[in-house]
Structure 1
Amino acid sequence: MSIYNFSAVAMNGQATSLQEFQGKVVLIVNTAGRCGFTYQYEDLQRLYDRYKDKGFVILGFPCNQFDHQEPDSNETIQTNCLLNYGVNFPLFQKINVRDKGAHPLFEYLSNSKAFEGFNPFHPVAKILLPLIKEKHPEYLLDDYSIKWNFTKFLIDTNGNVIKRFECTTDPVDMEQDIENLLESVTI
């Protein structure tokens, strides 16, 4: 099994097989436009711009499950991402990433790599950790589910999950891992 076994609906309403990204290094991210980590869109776009011609792609999946931080329509999400952050990597329509109704892709991703904890020294973690413990302690009861927006999964050229990065890992801190995987890409 790999990510190539799954498909999702792109922002334009077209079903897209992830097999379309075969042979590329892929970063899959669940996103939200009103989150303390929304600033990561800018760094994700920088990574995409830097490596897209070397066989790298980012796939964004908006989700409204975490404190209702992505309430907008798909059209508004796409417009806001473009106008506010310059996002031009592929975005998909809003989905659920945990619990009942979770998209099968995210069930696969989250079960592939365990949650290893948040970086408690990240500036936003000082807000996030008390919020989760107070409002959503059930999020921390298992080792695999998605815990918050901007959880990132790095996928190799064969569609295998290589690494999981939580929201408290900024995109620039993943650059070496991306470069290491890109060494095997032939364009």
Structure 2
Amino acid sequence: MSVVAAIAKSIIPNTILPRVEAPVSFYDLQFLDINGDLRSMQEFKGKHLLIVNTASKCGFTYQYEGLQELYKTYKEDLEIIGFPCNQFKKQEPAGNDQIAEFCELQFGVKFPMASKIDVKGDNVHPVYNWLTKKEQNGILSSEVEWNFQKYWIDDIGALRAVVYTNVKPNGKKFLKLAEELINEK
């Protein structure tokens, strides 16, 4: 077993992963934004990126507020992309237009939002395929367990953290992780 494989097997969720080169470049991935425009992850090269699966009828929907605070505080170094998903108890039944309006009116969301996608299963979106498959990201296979699970991609396109739903994006634990990753040299 390689050193990286041994490390990956012992990963504790919500901690920083070692930086490894991914077999598949994160920057080759694309997604449709909430307005239906094609976007490339290449646009975000050189910045840290937080990918979050979202839902507007979830007990954790309040995390939009914390995500927006995080975005406002760290927008020079960090981008956030919300990926709406209806796979967890059908908690995102709305269409893209209604999702965009809800996020703007209820939480003042200014960070990019993607069109609604699947984060697991037969129709998993390529971004989430990369996030959850070690064969793609080079470090860790994981499963999206619920809405508002967070994936941190560093400024060179390496998966660095998987943060579960119960960790608030504006809470002390997450802010410590964010500071460490952003200030890492």
TM-score normalised over the length of structure 2: 0.80
Instruction: Determine the C-alpha separation between the residues in 1 that align with 2:25 and 2:54.
Output: 21
Aligned to 2:179: 179
Identical counterparts, % of pairs: 42
Counterpart check, 1:77 vs 2:99: yes
Structure 1 unaligned residues grouped into runs of 5+: 115-142
Bigger drift between 70-79 and 1-10 goes to 1-10
Counterpart check, 1:51 vs 2:49: no
Counterpart amino acid of residue 102 in structure 2: N
Instruction: Determine the C-alpha separation between the residues in 2 that align with 1:111 and 1:174.
Output: 23
1:13 maps to which of 13, 29, 36: 36
Aligned to 1:35: 58
2:122 maps to which of 78, 84, 100: 100
Instruction: Determine the C-alpha separation between the residues in 1 that align with 2:89 and 2:145.
Output: 11
Bigger drift between 5-14 and 35-44 goes to 5-14
Structure 2 counterparts to residues 121-132 of structure 1, below 5 A: none
**Structure 1 stretches (4+) deviating beyond 3 angstroms?**
none
Instruction: Determine the C-alpha separation between the residues in 1 that align with 2:178 and 2:66.
Output: 14
Counterpart check, 1:166 vs 2:164: yes
Instruction: Determine the C-alpha separation between the residues in 2 that align with 1:2 and 1:146.
Output: 21
1:157 maps to which of 155, 158, 173: 155
Residue 105 (structure 1) shift: 1.0
Residue 111 (structure 1) shift: 2.1
Structure 2 unaligned residues grouped into runs of 5+: 1-23
Give the aligned CA root-mean-square deviation in angstroms: 1.5
Counterpart amino acid of residue 52 in structure 1: K
Could you give the per-residue CA deviations for residues 44-66 of structure 1, whole angstroms, max 9, x where no partner exists?
0000000102x211010000000
More helix by share: 1
Instruction: Determine the C-alpha separation between the residues in 1 that align with 2:25 and 2:163.
Output: 18
Residue 40 (structure 1) shift: 0.4
Matched residue of 1:171: which SS? coil
Bigger drift between 167-176 and 85-94 goes to 167-176
Residue 184 (structure 1) shift: 5.0
Could you give the per-residue CA deviations for residues 157-184 of structure 1, whole angstroms, max 9, x where no partner exists?
0111100001111112311221222225
Counterpart amino acid of residue 130 in structure 2: Y
- C-alpha contact 1:25 1:178 (8 A) present in aligned 2: no
Number of aligned residue pairs: give it: 156
Q: 1:62 to 1:69 in 2, by over 3 A?
A: same
- C-alpha contact 2:35 2:96 (8 A) present in aligned 1: no
Aligned to 1:136: none
Instruction: Determine the C-alpha separation between the residues in 1 that align with 2:160 and 2:118.
Output: 22
Could you give the per-residue CA deviations for residues 39-96 of structure 1, whole angstroms, max 9, x where no partner exists?
000000000000102x211010000000000000100000000100110100010000
Residue 9 (structure 1) shift: 0.2
Counterpart amino acid of residue 59 in structure 1: I
